[in-house]
Chains A and B, each alone.
Chain A
Amino acid sequence: DTEVTQTPKHLVMGMTNKKSLKCEQHMGHRAMYWYKQKAKKPPELMFVYSYEKLSINESVPSRFSPECPNSSLLNLHLHALQPEDSALYLCASSQEGTSVNEQYFGPGTRLTVT
């Protein structure tokens, strides 16, 4: 099973709402990632978790709050977002402890902030 799943597929939220994005993998990977992708642009790294600990935060605003409850799950909590945060949010995972950091991506959550 080389699948990374993400829910929901689509999300529309107001600027005062609180919502969460969920990502799940059952490949035994110990590294998980959040990327943000604007239309016609490449994905940009937001966060990296390694063995359930946050290892990289690419200076992301605090209105985005990641959480890794266990090795299979990754959440992204959203609060007080801005319209410019509308984008496709991609989750990925990779094996840790090996030399090749080959990442598997989920289908993404398309977020619209109104």
Chain B
Amino acid sequence: AQTVTQSQPEMSVQEAETVTLSCTYDTSESDYYLFWYKQPPSRQMILVIRQEAYKQQNATENRFSVNFQKAAKSFSLKISDSQLGDAAMYFCGTNSGGGADGLTFGKGTHLIIQP
């Protein structure tokens, strides 16, 4: 069984600033993956970044990077140079590796970008 906790229901950041969204998880799987998805208002879920749990190196995708602390079961998302288009609900999720497995999501963090 997997659980994901996002403790920040809402975050606000000034445009061009940096913001970090928190996520902790628990899983009984030895092989698992972690994801951040973005869901803009009334729009579809988009994969922002993924992390294989067996990799020590933190994943990076342009302005988005993660801080993966496996022992602490923590997987935070850092957004640099925030842009108005980053405003969305952000969901942290996990699933097991090796086959088709549904995602377990946290409750989400609503990110507001102040112009």
Contact = CB atoms under 8 A, between A and B. Distances in A.
A33 B102 contact: yes
B11 interface: no
Nearest to A97: B99
B100 A43 contact: no
A106 B46 CA distance: 9
Given A42-B108, A101-B95, A106-B44, A48 B102 contact: yes
A71 interface: no
Given A42-B107, A42-B108, A43-B105, A101 B47 contact: no
A92 B86 CA distance: 22
Categorize the interface residue count of chain A: 20 to 34
Contacts of B108: 40-42
* Most B-side CB within 10 Å, residue of A43, A105, A107: A43
B97 A102 contact: no
A49 B100 CA distance: 8
A99 interface: yes
Nearest to A93: B100
B100 A102 contact: no
A77 B35 CA distance: 30
Contacts of B44: 90, 105-108
B64 interface: no
Contact of B103 (A41, A100, A103, A108): A103
B115 interface: no
A35 B107 CA distance: 15
A107 B97 contact: no
B45 A105 contact: yes
A106 B7 CA distance: 27
B105 A104 contact: no
Given A100-B52, A102-B50, A42 B102 contact: no
19 contacts: A31-B99, A33-B100, A33-B102, A41-B108, A42-B105, A43-B105, A45-B102, A49-B100, A50-B99, A56-B100, A56-B101, A90-B44, A100-B50, A101-B100, A101-B101, A102-B50, A103-B47, A107-B43, A107-B44
The 8 closest A-B CB pairs, nearest first, are A45-B102, A31-B100, A42-B105, A105-B45, A50-B100, A107-B44, A99-B97, A48-B100
